[in-house]
Structure 1
Amino acid sequence: MGMMVVARRIEASVDEVRYEFGFEDRFDRVLTIDPHTLEARVQDGDFNAAASAITAKIVNARRSAGDFPERMMFAS
């Protein structure tokens, strides 16, 4: 069974970048990434497969493009 996780950037400051994310278009969770270390955490404390997958996509895009994307999708 596949998984589709989508994220949209809601805040970008010097110290953190925040995304709402969830399955398909249910933006029911919040992901925070430290732009200096690229360490990530989720607001609800459950860093599960969905959080890990979308974080990896966002961080890889940031490394490639030099900036955090406004939107991201992971599908498997």
Structure 2
Amino acid sequence: MNSFLQNYFRRFWENGLLFFPFFIGYAETHYRLKFFKPRYYQKFPEVIADVPIRVVKKITRSLPILIIIKDADLFPVVL
């Protein structure tokens, strides 16, 4: 088992270095470094809304909606 793990990590290390630039290149739209501003940076918060599936399947009087606003402290919004 020990040799299997050593082989696995050795292959990952050798092959993982080939894909390393892709991992560094990935970032969310609101992530940026102090001195480097990416071209896809947006000055808007990320808004995620979700409705449970039970609302679609069953008729109810209440409508529970989950709203998550990421970076709302940096970019205030009015709902």
TM-score grouping bracket, smaller chain normalisation: under 0.3
TM-score, structure 1 as length reference: 0.22
Q: Select the structure with the greater relative contact order (CA < 8 A; seq sep ≥ 6).
A: 1
Higher strand share: 1
Higher helix share: 2
